[in-house]
Structure 1
Amino acid sequence: MSTTQAGVGGPDRAQIEERTLRADRWWLYPLTTFVVFTAFIVYATWRAFEGANYYTTPYLSPFYAPCLATSCPESASDLGQPLGDWWRLSPALAILVFPLGFRMTCYYYRKAYYRAFWLSPPACGVAEPHGAYSGETRFPLILQNVHRWFWYVAMVFGVLLSIDTIRTFRNDEGEWGHMGLGSLLFIANVVLIWLYTLSCHSCRHTVGGRLRHFSKHPVRYKLWTWVSRLNTKHGVYAWLSLFSIALVDLYVYLLATDRITDLRFF
């Protein structure tokens, strides 16, 4: 009697009755990922569809940046309001598809939510409940290959969020040279977003992945080694930037609803 079953694009798999031989708490990581991701999805969905309490001078929530609809305050619309008034649900829904697409197709996030939500597999050395495996070769998962293009857009969003961070050093009258607690939160958030974006595998491939002779491209080689060091902590930056985005948005929401006041240093 055969003890193997056909694999997909690889060697046959052994038939083992036990789901896993691991004795540790392997389920803790996927469970934590599931809880945290679900909480973020619920919070982000509520805030995106709310369409209010996302701006208080000089702070614009990263969920709504850039704000391009006529429902956006003029002082928060540095790029104008090209969407007009047809986007009535929420200005956030017009732009969130880009940062969301970047994170959903991210190599680290794919591993995380494949394990946490689809149990594919739930952990290393633990059998998955699915009878077949086709990888990312079929629709819809083949669309994950657009990740590099989302990375290009993410670079643009990083610049726009950096500009929004600079704008937080203005007061209610638009005068420069002021700083509040929100300014520090925005700085921390944009730094983490840049670390997450620049540590991306697509960034590493773009700056040096296709070079045949590093010695002929010393500048790109230097960039490649720097990005490679960042890349080792890509998962950490993915988590931290996720938390910082939610924290900054919550801070703006609390200010906009007069639940707290901004602590101004000067």
Structure 2
Amino acid sequence: MSAPANEQSTGVFSPSRAQIAARTLRTDRWWLPPLVTAIGLGIFVVYAGTRSFVRSAYYVADYHYLTPFYSPCLSTSCVEGSSHFGTPLPDLPMIIPLAFVGLPFLLLFRLTCYYYRKAYYRAFWLSPPACAVAEPHAKYSGETRFPLIIQNAHRYLFYAAAIISIINTYDAIVAFHSPGGFGFGLGNVILLGNVILLWAYTLSCHSCRHITGGRLKHFSKHPVRYWIWTQVSKLNTRHMQLAWITLGTLMLTDFYIMLVASGTISDLRFIG
């Protein structure tokens, strides 16, 4: 039974498109990339969601290691020493993550990221699951209606992500500590590496590229902005790789701090 005429006006089921019974004529394993993407994103969501709510083993007092999933920690519910910016907020119920001030902005920044849109549109919404493969949707309205119209806020969420990256940088600097003063260990290497990669991902964002060089008609009249735009453009070519790498470094950083904070392992110290 064919779909109503008003539902045939858009998408791959339009009467103006070739009427092919097969979903696709591709013979390769086109379903593998969206499957791998769904598994990868699913692992991160489950891990990060769980760790953000458990409220245990997220801070190492001796070395001032604070996991990114709990930064900034601004509540009196935070363990002593983990609030690098004070505790202006009262105790929070367990249903609210301690880093609720920053986590929503980071989540929205990634959800509205141009690369992640492609990734989860294909992996979870099958829109479309792959090139030359029909999607199971009769109509397509783009990002013009709620909730997808929120994707247009990405350029503004970039500023929030930059601020949180500054906070993560401060956390990494504060972590050069030991009970006797200055200290340096494997945890510092992991924290610092994570921050550098987070900055690379944030600055490689398409919004950052537009901020640095957008709306310019003559690059020759703005040599400084042109140079910055050029550097950001170089990073932008690695945006997809950085998007995945930083998911891995975030989990690695949190997992290592969890192991040290819980006493499962001891931090490998180089100084102090």
Shorter chain as normaliser: what TM range? over 0.9
Equivalent in 100, 103, 108 of residue 115 of structure 2: 108
Match of 1:75 in 2: 81
- Does residue 9 of structure 2 align to residue 6 of structure 1? yes
Q: Would you say 1:63 and 2:66 are equivalent positions?
A: no
Query: For the residues of structure 1 that align with 2:45 and 2:153, how far apart are their CA atoms?
Result: 22
The answer to whether the Cα contact below 8 Å between 1:61 and 1:248 also exists between their aligned partners in 2 is: yes
Tell me which of 127, 132, 149 is aligned to 1:125. 132
Q: Is the 8 A contact 2:34 2:129 kept in 1?
A: yes
Query: Within 5 A, what are the aligned runs for 1:43-192?
Result: 43-57=47-61, 58-86=64-92, 88-89=94-95, 90-173=97-180, 175-176=181-182, 178-192=183-197
User: Percent identity over the alignment?
Assistant: 56
User: Residue 198 in 1 paired to residue 198 in 2?
Assistant: no
TM-score under structure 1 normalisation? 0.93
Within 2, Cα distance between the matches of 1:167 and 1:128? 49
SS state of the match for residue 30, structure 1?
Answer: helix
- Three-state SS of the structure 1 residue aligned to 2:234 is helix
Amino acid at match of 2:53: F
1:87 offset after TM fit, Å? Answer: 5.1
Offset at residue 64 of structure 1 (A): 0.6
Deviation at 1:84, TM superposition (A): 1.9
Structure 1 residues 12 and 69, CA, compared in 2 at 3 Å: closer, same or farther? farther
Decide whether the 8 Å contact of 1:34 with 1:117 is kept in 2.
Answer: yes
Equivalent residue of 2:184, what SS? coil
Q: Is the 8 A contact 1:49 1:92 kept in 2?
A: no
Alignment check: 8 A CA contact 2:67 2:254 kept: yes
Task: Give the aligned length.
Answer: 259
Q: Deviations over 1:8-38 (max 9, x none)?
A: 7x99543322211222211111000111111
Higher relative contact order (CA 8 A, sep 6+): 2
Q: How far did residue 254 of structure 1 move?
A: 0.9
Superimposed CA distance per residue, residues 166-223 of structure 1 (whole angstroms, 9 cap, x where no aligned partner): 11211135x12x2111111111101110110000000000000111111110000011
Query: Unmatched 5+ residue regions in structure 1?
Result: none
* Map of 1:33 onto structure 2: 37
CA distance in 1, matches of 2:159, 2:18: 42
